[in-house]
Every structure is written in C-alpha cells, then in structure tokens.
Amino acid sequence: MINGAVGNAGVVITSNGAHSTEVMADLCTKRIVSVSMSAHPVIRQQAEAFQDNIKMVIKHYMDEALKMDRASRLTEEN
C-alpha cells in the first residue's frame, strides 16, 4: 500500500505567449505568503499588505534579472 498526499494544484494559462513577470510574481508570492480566509480581519489586512509588498519586491528583481539577461545576450552576440 502506498500512502501519500498531494498539495493544492493550480493552472495558469495565457493566450499571448509566456507569463509576464507580474503573473509570475503573483504565483511566487502566493506560494511564499498565504493568508487564511478565517484570520482576524486586522491580521488578514496586515498579511495582505505584506503579501503586496513581497510581490512588488519579487517582480522588481525578476524584471531586473530579465534586463541583465537581455544585456548579456546582446553582449554575447557582438
């Protein structure tokens, strides 16, 4: 007998190519910081504000990483 558990799974699709850094930052943030629906309203509000801040930081560094990658590819081509 094999016992196991599978966590929550989700699917995010796009119709115009790859996911944006906004979408990826949102997915990443939701994996790092979860906010319980049953949390006290004040705690929930603080957690959601923290989640928003984390998302902005992740998106910023993802955008910077893309810029650096593109710059290094251009340098390699020349």
7 part of a folded domain: no
Euclidean distance between CA atoms 67 and 10, whole angstroms:
29
15 part of a folded domain: no
Report how many domains make up the chain. Answer: 1
Query: Three-state DSSP class for 77?
Result: helix
35 part of a folded domain: yes
Structure tokens at 31: 């994996």
Euclidean distance between CA atoms 19 and 25, whole angstroms:
10
12 part of a folded domain: no
Using one digit for the tens of pLDDT, what is the confidence trace for 1-44? 555 555 666 777 777 778 899 999 999 999 999 888 999 999 99
Q: What is the pTM of this model?
A: 0.74
Domain housing 59: 21-77
63 part of a folded domain: yes
50 part of a folded domain: yes
